[in-house]
Each structure stands twice: as structure tokens, then as C-alpha cells.
Amino acid sequence: MSRFVRKAILIFVVLLLAGCSSSIGVGLIERDGNTFTKASFITRTATKARKVKVTQAGQALAISWKVQARKGQITLRLLDPTQKVAWEKDFQKGSNAQGCATLTAEVAGDWILQISAQSARGHYLVRWGQSCSEQKSR
């Protein structure tokens, strides 16, 4: 195989792999479940999205978090089915926080929970359900 062909294949593979990932991360460990997502990372710039099913309008929706941002920024954001921001919480460098927020989902459908990390180092555990007390019992 000629040197030119090898270089072309290498460039194609690198571009293909770059297109498969929407995040940049070093030392990333992630785990997802039906009602939670957690990650620990040394350096990360990415936005992760998880679908949150709301079966009927007026349903309570609780988001609980444990977040540590040693560097950069981590943002939790909840979008309604029309992509409108319904709730948002930012964690800046030095944050070490936990809490729970409850809101009323005015429309049924697929809501989106986004976790964005911007040049961040740290970890998070985010859970969702219908009540904050439900989140504490897990």
C-alpha cells in the first residue's frame, strides 16, 4: 500500500471518529440508568441530553443533583417538549452542591434534561422523578 493511500485512510478514520463524538473529554467515566445519569471527568467540554417522559400535563417533575465543579462550569437545564428552557442551574468553579428542584410540567411529552460541561473538571449525579423525597430514597 502506498504512503499516500495510508495517509488518506488515516485522515478518513480520524475525520470519521471526530464526527462520531459530540464531546471532548479526558478521564471520563459515565453511567446512565432509567432515571439518573452520572459522570466523573478530569477535563470535559460537552453537552449530554437525556429524555424525561412526562405522561400527563400538570405532573410534578423533580430534578435532584450532586455536582462538584473543581474547574470550569457545569450547567443543568430542563427543556420542555417545545425546546423552551423550563429550568436551569449553573455550577461555577469551586462549586460543591446538592439539592432538588420540583416544577409542574405544563405539557405532556418528551422533556430533555441537558447536562453541559464547559472546560470542566469534576463530577455529577443527576436524578429525575416525580418528587424530591423519591430522589432521596434512591
Q: Is 15 helix (H, G, I), strand (E, B) or coil?
A: helix
**Domain membership flag for residue 17:** no
**Domain membership flag for residue 8:** no
CATH of the domain at 91: 2.60.120.260
**Domain membership flag for residue 109:** yes
* 22-57 pLDDT, tens digit each: 445 568 889 999 999 999 999 889 999 999 999 999
**Domain membership flag for residue 7:** no
CA dist 116 and 76 (Å) reads 7
β-sheet bridge partners, residue 99: 65
Asked if residues 91 and 75 have their Cβ atoms less than 8 Å apart, the reply is yes
**Domain membership flag for residue 99:** yes
**Domain membership flag for residue 4:** no
* 43-96 pLDDT, tens digit each: 889 999 999 999 999 999 999 999 999 999 999 999 999 999 999 999 999 999
Query: Domain limits at 107?
Result: 25-136
Cα→Cα distances 53→88, 90, 128, 129, Å? 18, 23, 10, 9
Tell me if the pTM is above 0.75: yes
**Domain membership flag for residue 9:** no
Q: What is the number of structural domains in the chain?
A: 1
**Domain membership flag for residue 128:** yes
